[in-house]
Amino acid sequence: MGTIVVIDVYATAGDAAAGAAAERASQEISGQVAEAVATLHRADETFSTWKPGSPVSRLRRGELSRAQVPAELAEVLDRCAVARDWSGGWFDPWAVPGGFDPSGYVKGWAAQNALAAFRSSAICGVLVNAAGDIASSGGLGDGTPFRIGIADPRDPLRLAEIVELTGAIATSGTYERGEHLIDPRSGRPAARAASASVTGPDLGLADALATALAVAGEAGLALIDGLGGYEALVINPDGSKRRTKGFPVAAVSSA
């Protein structure tokens, strides 16, 4: 997938201070970290468009049919079709140069699957951060939810918003990688928003919807507004912001 993934695991204070129990919990969590990493490596082997022998590369060249692809690729094909429908066609991995490219979905999908590896009762919260797209569960040990900053696309070292995260958040834009977003209607690079962020229960779909919203701009907010559980924020090139009514902006104390 050509990206860096950071996993943060937060343990409960009680287990951390319990001696032998803490050691057992540490070993359990270490095993689950290894499971999550293996999940990410498997996704890279399956979905990398940079690796000629990956199943997705072979599908793009016509060497594999839809019926011949591995189960994980078949699942992603189905989920990309759902994302295309939900986005009104603004996300369409079949309408890009070179053939089917699930990169706008599969990074979030892989991070969400990696999150599922963490089942220990000693864990109070986990963040799986795939280059800024984050799948989460739980929160900090004191019950405080995770807070995630959204970069200002005009000055990425500053924050435009802070979000109280429950579930997943994905952000898409051109301020870091340049003109890489493809408008499915023209087949050419285009982005009407400076950045677009989507929150929701599933990072794969949030990732695809953020990509769609960055291309569509404010016009895409109505599509997100009609999806149960998903909320969105658009930052326009002039710095103005538009969001769905439930987008979880954190209250920031002025003290």
The residue extents of the domains of the chain are 5-243
Rounded CA-CA distance 233/167 in Å is 16
pLDDT the model gives residue 251:
77
Token pair 């834009």: residue: 173
Rounded CA-CA distance 62/99 in Å is 10
Across the strands, what pairs with 214? none
Token pair 């950045």: residue: 195
Confidence of residue 120 (pLDDT cuts 50, 70, 90): very high
- CA 249 from centre of chain: 18
Q: Which two tokens stand for residue 230?
A: 């998903």
Token pair 């995260």: residue: 165
Confidence of residue 15 (pLDDT cuts 50, 70, 90): very low
pLDDT the model gives residue 17:
53
Across the strands, what pairs with 101? none
- Record: fold of 5-243: T-fold (3.10.520)
Write the burial class of residue 153 (CB in 10 Å: 0-12 exposed, 13-18 middle, 19+ buried).
buried
Q: Global pTM? A: 0.93
pLDDT at 84 > cutoff 50: yes
Rounded CA-CA distance 58/1 in Å is 16
pLDDT at 177 > cutoff 80: no
Q: How many CB atoms lie within 10 A of CB 16?
A: 14
Least confident of 140-149, 211-220, 240-249: 140-149
- CA 72 from centre of chain: 17
Q: Mean pLDDT across the stretch 231-249?
A: 97
pLDDT the model gives residue 1:
67
Across the strands, what pairs with 164? 147
Name 131's Cβ contacts closer than 8 Å, sequence gap at least 6.
3, 4, 5, 107
> Above pLDDT 70, what percent of the chain?
95
Strand, coil or helix: 178? coil
